[in-house]
Structure 1
Amino acid sequence: MNLELQQFKAEFFKALAHPLRIRILELLSEGDKSVNEIQSLIGSEGSAVSQQLAILRNKNVVVGSKDGTTVVYSLRDPLVKDLLSVAKQIFDNHLAGTISLLENIRAKDL
């Protein structure tokens, strides 16, 4: 794999490396939303949401389009939804493995 592709991947994953950005992407996976809609759904103050959206926009993960005076955000690539789904599956698999390990340890202690 060439260095430029590795760098692109690293920068892309850095853009995802924040819990609020992940939550924003999960919401945008359900459909386009304005900053106010995202704020309301997350229950976070506007400056935090706007700051994270700016990072996602600068890394080309989301795009914003004007609808009158409102900016509506969407995923730049719909495959981000699939990526988030796969990440959840990996987490679930890891969690299931950890639970199984703990159950085995508990069974040995009994």
Structure 2
Amino acid sequence: MKVKDLEKVLKQSPIVAELFKTLSHPKRLQILCFLSMQEHTVGELEQMTQCSQSQVSQFLKSLESEGLVSKIIDGKFRRYQLKDQKIKKLMNALYEIYCQ
């Protein structure tokens, strides 16, 4: 590892640690995994995660405040999507490692 790379690791490690803290809850991790595949409504995520509507909404609010997801308002429905392609890459990598 080069000194330049070491500096990047030192700079980014607190950011990545916060991300992993967010991912540490199984239901938040599931939501991000499902959103990495496509956009979903709260109702869809509720069925997929087997959580209540209020729990899913609370998880989404947390993920939105962390900058991981964004919502699209479409008439009555709010669809959620991943906000950052880095998160999609991470979720895809986790899926490949642990789910295949």
Q: TM-score range by the shorter chain?
A: 0.7 to 0.9
CA distance in 2, matches of 1:88, 1:68: 32
Q: Which residue of 2 aligns with 1:57?
A: 64
Q: Which residue of 2 aligns with 1:12?
A: 19
Q: Which residue of 2 aligns with 1:67?
A: 74
CA distance in 1, matches of 2:93, 2:38: 19
The percentage of aligned residue pairs carrying the same residue is 33
Taking only aligned residues, the RMSD between alpha carbons, in angstroms, comes to: 2.0
Q: Which moved more, 1:12-21 or 1:73-82?
A: 73-82
CA distance in 1, matches of 2:98, 2:36: 18
Where structure 1 has 5 or more consecutive residues not aligned to the other structure, the ranges are 93-110
CA 30–87 in structure 1, closer or farther in 2 if over 3 Å, else same: closer
Q: Which residue of 2 aligns with 1:79?
A: 86
Scaled by the length of structure 2, the TM-score of the pair is 0.77
Q: Which residue of 2 aligns with 1:39?
A: 46
The count of residues paired between Structure 1 and Structure 2 equals: 92
CA 31–6 in structure 1, closer or farther in 2 if over 3 Å, else same: same
Q: Which amino acid aligns with 1:78?
A: Q
Scaled by the length of structure 1, the TM-score of the pair is 0.71
Larger radius of gyration: 1
